[in-house]
A and B are shown apart, each in its own frame.
Chain A
Amino acid sequence: MRGHTFFFILLLALLLTTSACDQQELPPARVSVKVQLKWVHQAQFVGFYIALDEGYYDEENLDVTLFEGGPAIDQAVALHSGTVDFAVLPAEALLIKNSTLPKMVAISALYQLNPTVFVAKSDSGIINPKDLTGKIVAVGKMEEGGFLEGIIQFKAMLKNTGVAFDSIIQADYDPQYGAFINGAVDVTPAYMTGGVIKLQNQGLNLNLLWPGDYGVNAYGDTLATTDTYIAAHPDIVLRFLRATLKGWQKAIENQTLALATTMKYAKIQDTKLQEAMLDIQAPLVSTGDTPIGWMKQSVWQNMGELYKDSGNEERSAESGTFYTLNFLETIYGPQK
Chain B
Amino acid sequence: MRLRDKVILTCLLTALLSVLAISALSLMISGDFVRKEGAADLTAVNSRRANQILQWTSNTSRQLEVLGQMPIIHEKLSFELEQAGSENRAVITELLETIVEKHLRPALILGTFSELFLLEVPSGKILASTDPKQIGKMQGSREYFIKGQLGTHIQNIFYSMSIRQPTMVVSLPIGGNNALPNAVLAGRLNLSALSDILREWRGLWQTEDSYLVNNQHIFITEPRYGKNFMLRKTVYTEGVNRALNRQNGISWYKDYRGKEVIGAYQYLDDRELALITEVDGDDYLAAINKLKHSLYLSAILIATLSLVIGWLVAKTIVTPLTSLAAAIDRISSSNLKLEFEPQGAGKELITIVNAFRKMIQGLQTTLVSRDQLQKEVEQRKIAESDLLVALDQVKRSNAELEQFAYVASHDLQEPLRMVASYNQLLAQRYGPQLDEKAQKYIHYAVDGANRMQTLIQDLLTFSRVSTKGAEFGPVDFQEVVSTAILNLEMLIEESGAQITVQNLPTVSGDGGQLTQLMQNLIANSIKFRSEAIPTVHIEAQRQQEEYIFSIRDNGIGIDKKYSDKIFVVFQRLHTREEYPGTGIGLAVCKRIVERHGGSIWFDSAPGQGTTFSFTLKRHAAA
Binding site for B on A (CB under 8 A): 113, 127-130, 160-161, 210, 212-215, 217, 249, 252-253, 255, 282-284, 286-291, 298-299, 302, 335-336
Confirm or deny: B325 has a beta carbon within 8 angstroms of a beta carbon on chain A.
no
User: Can you list 23 A-B pairs with a CB-CB distance of less than 8 A?
Assistant: A161-B138, A210-B162, A213-B138, A213-B161, A213-B162, A214-B138, A215-B138, A253-B233, A255-B228, A283-B159, A283-B161, A283-B164, A283-B166, A283-B232, A287-B231, A288-B214, A288-B218, A288-B220, A288-B231, A289-B158, A291-B216, A302-B141, A336-B215
Number of interface residues of B (CB under 8 A): 31
- Contact across chains for A249 and B161 when beta carbons are under 8 A apart: no
**Chain A residues positioned under 8 Å from B166 (CB to CB):** 283, 288
9 other A-B residue contacts (CB within 8 Å) besides A215-B138, A282-B232: A113-B159, A129-B136, A214-B136, A215-B123, A215-B141, A255-B228, A287-B231, A298-B141, A302-B141
- Residue B157 at the chain A interface, CB threshold 8 Å: yes
Return the contact of B135 from the options A113, A128, A288 (Cβ within 8 A): A128
B103-159: which residues lie under 8 A (CB-CB) from chain A? 123-124, 132-141, 143, 156-159
Of B162, B214, B234, chain A has the most CB atoms within 10 Å of the CB of B234
Identify which of B141, B159, B215 contacts A287 (C-beta below 8 A).
B159
Given the complex of chains A and B, what is the CA–CA distance between A137 and B261 in angstroms? 56
Interface string of B157-171 (1 = CB under 8 A from A): 111011010100000
Q: Say which residue of B133, B140, B159 sits within 8 Å of A215 (CB atoms).
A: B140
Question: A333 to chain B: closest CB distance in Å?
Answer: 11
1/0 contact trace for B229-240 toward A, CB 8 Å?
Answer: 001111000000
Chain A minimum-CB-distance residue to B272: A336
Task: Tell me whether A286 and B138 are in contact (CB under 8 A).
Answer: no
Q: Which residues of A contact B164 (CB under 8 A)?
A: 283
CA of A335 to CA of B215 in the docked complex: distance in angstroms? 9
Q: Are B161 and A210 in contact (CB under 8 A)?
A: yes
For the complex, give the distance between the alpha carbons of A160 and B123 in Å: 9
| A214 neighbours in B (Cβ, 8 Å) | 136-138
Closest to B126 in A: A213
CA distance A290 to B218 in the complex (A): 9
Choose among A286, A298, A299, A302 the residue that contacts B231 (Cβ–Cβ < 8 A): A286
CB nearest neighbor in B for A113: B161
CA distance A129 to B132 in the complex (A): 14
CB distance from A298 to the nearest CB of B (A): 7
A129, A160, A212, A255, most chain B CB atoms within 10 A: A212
Contact in complex: B139, A213 (CB < 8 Å)? yes
Given the complex, which residues of A lie within 8 Å of B215, measured CB to CB? Answer: 336
A161, A214, A287: residue with the most chain B Cβ atoms closer than 10 Å? A287
State in angstroms the CA–CA spacing of A113 and B157 once bound together.
16
**Smallest CB-CB separation from B229: which chain A residue?**
A253
Q: Which residues of A contact B138 (CB under 8 A)?
A: 160-161, 213-215
Residues of B within 8 A of A336 (CB): 215
> Chain A contacts of B143 at CB under 8 A?
289
Q: How far is the CA of A127 from the CA of B136 in the complex (A)?
A: 10
Residue of A nearest to B132 (CB): A127
Closest to B227 in A: A255
Question: Which residues of chain A have C-beta atoms less than 8 A from B123's C-beta?
Answer: 215
Inter-chain CA distance A253–B166, complex, in Å, is 16
Interface positions, chain B 205-246, Cβ under 8 Å from A, are 214-216, 218, 220, 228, 231-234
Q: Please, how many angstroms separate the alpha-carbon atoms of A18 and B443 in the complex?
A: 164
In the bound complex, what is the Cα–Cα distance between A283 and B137 (angstroms)? 20
A161–B143 CA distance with the chains assembled, in angstroms: 21
Instruction: Report Cα–Cα, A252/B141, bound state, in Å.
Output: 25
Say which residue of A161, A253, A284, A288 sits within 8 Å of B216 (CB atoms). A288
B residues near A217, Cβ cutoff 8 Å: 141
The 4 nearest A-B residue pairs measured at CB: A213-B137, A215-B138, A283-B159, A288-B231
Contacts between chains A and B (CB distance < 8 A), count: 75
- A283-B159, A287-B159 are contacts. A249–B228 as well, Cβ < 8 Å? no
B194 to chain A, nearest CB (A): 14
A128 touches B136 (CB 8 A): yes
A111 to chain B, nearest CB (A): 11
With A113-B159, A298-B141, A336-B215: A286-B136 Cβ-Cβ less than 8 Å: no
Complex contacts, A113 vs chain B, CB 8 Å: 159, 161
Complex interface: chain B residues within 8 A of A282 (CB): 228, 232
Find chain B residues with CB under 8 A from A160 CB: 138
How far is it, in angstroms, between the C-alpha of A282 and the C-alpha of B158 when the chains are bound?
A: 13
Q: How far is the CA of A252 from the CA of B228 in the complex (A)?
A: 10
A181 to B28, CA, bound (A): 74
Closest-CB distance, B81 to chain A (whole angstroms): 18
Q: Compute how far the CA of A215 lies from the CA of B123 in the bound complex, rounded to whole angstroms.
A: 9
**Are A283 and B216 in touch, CB under 8 angstroms?**
no
Q: How far is the CA of A128 from the CA of B135 in the complex (A)?
A: 8
- Closest Cβ of chain A to B617, distance in Å, is 108
Residues on B with C-beta less than 8 A from A127 are 132-133
Tell which of B134, B138, B214, B234 has the most Cβ of chain A within 10 Å. Answer: B138
The complex places the Cα of A161 from the Cα of B164 at a distance, in Å, of: 21
Contacts of B228 in A (CB 8 A): 255, 282
Which residues of B have CB within 8 Å of A289? 143, 158-159, 216
CB contacts (< 8 Å) of A161 on chain B: these are 136, 138
Closest Cβ neighbor of B134 among chain A residues: A213
CA distance A190 to B143 in the complex (A): 27
Q: Given the known A-B contacts A215-B140, A252-B232, are A287 and B158 also in contact in the complex, defined by CB atoms under 8 Å?
A: yes
Q: How far is the CA of A212 from the CA of B142 in the complex (A)?
A: 10
Residue among B123, B157, B220, B233 with the highest chain A CB neighbour number at 10 A: B233
Which A residue sits closest to B215, measured CB to CB? Answer: A336
Query: How far apart are the CA atoms of A35 and B138 in the complex, in Å?
Result: 36
Which residues from chain B contact A286 at a C-beta distance below 8 Å?
Answer: 159, 218, 231-232
Q: Which residues of A contact B162 (CB under 8 A)?
A: 210, 212-213
Distance A315 CA – B134 CA, assembled complex (angstroms): 31
- Chain A residue at smallest Cβ distance from B228: A255
Q: Which of B566-596 contact A (CB under 8 A)?
A: none
* Other-chain contact of B161, A212, A215, A298, A302 (Cβ < 8 Å): A212
B residues near A213, Cβ cutoff 8 Å: 134, 137-139, 161-162
CA distance A109 to B337 in the complex (A): 109
- Pair A130/B136 contact, Cβ less than 8 Å: yes
Contacts of B214 in A (CB 8 A): 288
CB distance from A285 to the nearest CB of B (A): 9
Bound-state Cα–Cα, A290 to B166, Å: 14
Our pick among A129, A215, A253, A255 for the contact of B234 (Cβ within 8 Å) is A253
Shortest distance in angstroms between A157's beta carbon and chain B's nearest beta carbon? 9
With both beta carbons as reference points, the residue of chain A lying nearest to B138 in the complex is identified as A215
B234 CB contacts on chain A under 8 angstroms:
249, 253
Closest chain A residue, CB of each to CB of B124 = A215
A291: chain B residues within 8 A (beta carbon): 216
Q: Which A residue sits closest to B218, measured CB to CB?
A: A288
B157 touches A288 (CB 8 A): yes
| CB closest residue in chain B, given A283 | B159
Bound: A62/B215 CA distance, A: 31
Give the distance to chain B from A119, nearest Cβ to Cβ, in Å.
14
Least Cβ–Cβ distance between B349 and chain A, in angstroms: 76
Residues of A within 8 A of B158 (CB): 287-289
B139 surroundings in chain A (CB, below 8 A): 213
How far does the alpha carbon of A335 sit from the alpha carbon of B217 in the complex, in Å? 12
Give the docked Cα–Cα distance between A127 and B161 (Å).
15
The distance in angstroms between the C-alpha atoms of A124 and B546, with both chains bound, is: 173
Residues from chain B with a CB closer than 8 A to the CB of A130 are 136
Least CB separation from B226: chain A residue: A253
Q: Tell me the smallest distance from the CB of A257 to a CB of chain B, in Å.
A: 12
Bound-complex Cα distance A217 to B232 (A): 21
Contact with A along B168-185 (1 / 0, CB 8 A): 000000000000000000
Smallest CB separation, A245 vs chain B (Å): 11
- Most chain B CB within 10 A, of A213, A282, A290, A335, is at A213
Least CB distance, B191 to chain A, in whole angstroms: 12
Please tell me if the beta carbons of B161 and A252 are within 8 angstroms of each other in the complex.
Answer: no
Q: Which residues of B contact A302 (CB under 8 A)?
A: 141
How far is it, in angstroms, between the C-alpha of A282 and the C-alpha of B165 when the chains are bound? 11
Closest B-chain residue to A285, C-beta based? Answer: B232
